[in-house]
Amino acid sequence: MKEIITGNQNNLPVEIRARSWEVPVDTGKIITVPGVRRCGKSSHFSITQNNLLQREIPKEKILSLNLDDERLDFSNGNVGLILEAYRELYPKIQTKDVHFFLDEIQIAEGWEKFVRRIYDTVSKNIYITGSNSKMLSSEIATSLRGRTLQFEVFPLSFSEFCDFRSVEIDFYDPAKKVIFKNAFNDYLFGGGFPEIATGQDLFNEQILQEYYNVMIFKDLVERYGIKNTSVLKYIVKRLLANLAKPTSVNKIFNEIKSSGIAISKNTVYELVDQLESIYMFLHLPKFSASPIKEFQGMPKYYCIDNGFNYALQGAISENRGTFLENAVYLHLRRKHPFGRGLFYFKDKQECDFLRFDKQTVIELIQVCWSLENSETEKREVNGLVEAAKATGCTNLKIITADSEKRLQKDGFEISVLPAWKFMGE
């Protein structure tokens, strides 16, 4: 452990690309950063550590440790050895000045008591990441309540993807616009994991399938002791096949049951919940003025990254609209931490996204690949207008693959925008 601590210190500063958001420091709170594996949580920590060095904080006062390191074993609740190791390395440094960066904290048994002890008696400079939002939030709600600030991290946004690819976002210069739109096509179907953005396209599919296997087997099967992996994989397959559509988990249960597999309904619901907790999928609730009806409404599910969708499913041509809607959802989800204030609307018609700011609906959005078909345009416009009349919102948009124009319907003006412009701004 001492070798790892000092080795990480000696590697500072780290050469790393900036992201659009930085971890705050000096808040007096435990900063928790949940997110899917490989999305860049550790990179955010490296950026923060570089910033601390620029503030002339010695690297010896930065303790950085990835608890998922195979050289370490925290299965016996011995997470307290971290503090012992550091104190033996630097007995003269006052620990109140030390910045603790603990990556993949959920790996360690009893981590929440250890973090609380550090916060209460050692240092207020604590930063933790985790790939299991359910595990983090449950412990934060009990042992760490009132002591934390949470910030979700996702794979790269489209603007970050362009920065990683050194592509200039330019909507008007014809030559740059071609390069920019090609980058969007890569992002739309390849996703935004940093390794994919900077790697060789030849191996992207294999890399993403490996990510998936680690998430399924390490984060779910091993951690929760799941016995029937075939059921888990079937649920993943069904959620992917039904992306961006209202989904009945009860129906999935009945399908599994009808195949002769003995499993309880609660277990199927728990597996879906666990897939969400590791950020494989994110759900979008149906909007209703009634909290009971909102709770009872079927949610939609979206995948954390379009690259996963392609690597596990393929079949782009007939699913282009789903890829586009999934990308727009992720773009909006970043604006709504933990999904607060983001819904879909459905009455006689349907509107894909309804955005709240506090108690006010601020934006209504439809997503479709093309409006060339008159029936498609009619359906998308009618869904927007019905949602607008129900909510009083006048900020209406339709996001398409490449169209840009204005539409009028029943006194409402609708902006039609290409996704590459909507997500690149």
For 15-57, the pLDDT digits (tens) are: 999 899 999 999 999 999 999 999 999 999 999 999 999 999 9
* pLDDT value at 327 more than 80: yes
pTM: predicted TM-score of the whole model, two decimal places: 0.95
The per-residue pLDDT for 101 is: 98
Is 410 inside a domain boundary? yes
pLDDT of residue 315 exceeding 70, the answer is no
Least confident of 39-48, 96-105, 137-146, 316-325: 137-146
Q: Which is nearest to 40 in space by CA: 182, 183, 197?
A: 197
- The terminus-to-terminus CA distance of the chain in angstroms comes to 44
**Residue whose structure tokens are 């607060």:** 340
Query: Do 287 and 354 meet the contact criterion of CB atoms below 8 Å apart?
Result: yes
Pick from 150, 168, 194: which residue ends a domain? 150
Task: Look at the alpha carbons of 349, 350, 354, 359 in this order and tell me if their dihedral is positive or negative.
Answer: positive
Is the residue at 353 inside a domain?
yes
The last residue of one of the domains, among 91, 119, 150, is 150
Give buried/exposed letters for 371-390 (b at 16+ CB in 10 A, else e). beeeeebebbbbbbbbbbeb
pLDDT recorded at residue 409: 97
Q: Which of 119, 150, 181 is where one domain is finished? A: 150
| 52 falls within a domain | yes
Q: What is the CATH number of the domain that holds 84?
A: 3.40.50
pLDDT of residue 109: 85
Mean of pLDDT values over 162-178: 92
For the segment 222-270, what is each residue's pLDDT rounded down to a tens digit? 888 898 899 999 999 999 999 999 999 999 999 999 999 999 999 999 9
Does some domain include residue 290?
no
> Of all helices (H) and strands (E), which one includes residue 191?
none
**Angle at Cα 213 formed by Cα 209 and Cα 217, nearest 5°?**
175
In the chain, how many domains are there? 2
Separation CA 98–CA 39 (nearest Å)? 26
Q: Under a CB-based contact definition with an 8 Å cutoff, are residues 404 and 357 in contact?
A: no
Q: Which residue has the tokens 């360690």?
A: 108
Nearest to 303 by CA among 325, 334, 336: 325
Domain that holds residue 35: 2-150
State the pLDDT at residue 313: 82
What percentage of residues in the chain have a pLDDT greater than 70? 98
Is residue 59 assigned to a domain?
A: yes
Mean pLDDT, residues 304-332: 89
Distance in angstroms (rounded) separating the CA atoms of residues 109 and 327: 36
Strand order in the sheet with 62-66: 62-66, 99-103, 126-130, 30-34, 148-150
Does residue 370 lie within any of the structural domains?
Answer: yes
**Residues composing the chain:** 425
Residue with tokens 């550790």: 42
The H or E element that residue 33 is part of is: strand 30-34
The answer to whether residue 330 is domain-embedded is no
* Residue 385 covered by a domain: yes
- pLDDT, one tens digit per residue, over 38-47 is 999 999 999 9
Question: What DSSP string runs through 64-108?
Answer: EEETT-TT---TTS-TTHHHHHHHHH-TTS-GGGPEEEEESGGGS
